[in-house]
Amino acid sequence: MVSEHDLDLGDGRTLHVYDTGPAAGGDGPVVLWHHGTPNVGSPPAPLFAVSERLGIRWVSYDRPAYGGSTPSPGRDLASAAGYASRVADELGIGRFAVMGHSGGGSHALACGALLPDRVRAVVGVSGPAPYGADGLDWFAGMSVSGQASLRAAVAGRAAKERHEAAAAYDPEMFTPADHDALGGDWSWFGSVVGPAVEG
């Protein structure tokens, strides 16, 4: 149901692209999915049944250095708009909506802000607030392991690499309701998290 291919960016780098293909008639809405962190870009399979009924086409890509996409050292959030445009152009898509989950939420917002003539709508799901926002205790309410991981990221690449080399899975980072959801249809997350953390 999902086709995959590599998009040559022309500078020695590639993006690994996913596409559910146009619905019957080919003129249904397109949603460009921005994956969470750490995930690969495979679009959200638990939403496919309702999407098929509504004629929604899902398109996505692995962000640089995830899955099959090559790294792009120094990239910023604004680069998401350029990548989204390249993917849409290659697939012959004019206008599209964007949806971002977790760390992908800020990438979806960047597309909405920088591509106003192309992006029809922006949806962000469980994305973090901007780090360092005035009056915000950014780590409040996070699990101990979640805080440790993100504090290491704030400290820089070397600290994050050291943390991840020693860290183990912590089931207490999820609530009982989360575990219930992840044991059902949304067990799909295992298929996008595993490949993202293997390398």
Instruction: Give me the residue spans of the domains in the chain.
Output: 3-128
Contacts of 142 (CB under 8 A, 6+ apart): 150
Q: What is the pLDDT of residue 141?
A: 87
* Mean pLDDT (10-residue bins), the chain, 199 residues: 93 95 78 90 90 93 92 92 97 96 94 97 90 90 89 91 86 81 75 70
C-beta separation of 33 from 60 below 8 A: yes
Q: What is the pLDDT of residue 179?
A: 79
Contacts of 174 (CB under 8 A, 6+ apart): 182
Query: How far apart are alpha carbons 108 and 123 in whole angstroms?
Result: 7
What's the pTM value of the predicted model, to 2 decimals?
0.88
Q: For residue 165, which of 148, 181, 180 has the smallest C-alpha distance?
A: 148
Q: For residue 144, which of 168, 118, 128 has the smallest C-alpha distance?
A: 168
- Residue 19: CB atoms within 10 Å: 20
Q: What is the pLDDT of residue 25?
A: 62
C-beta separation of 1 from 48 below 8 A: yes
C-beta separation of 4 from 18 below 8 A: yes
Query: How far apart are alpha carbons 13 and 71 in whole angstroms?
Result: 8
CATH fold of 3-128, please? Rossmann fold (3.40.50)
Q: Return left, alpha or beta for 171; rule: phi > 0 is left, psi -120 to 50 is alpha, else beta.
A: alpha
Integer-rounded Cα radius of gyration of the chain: 17
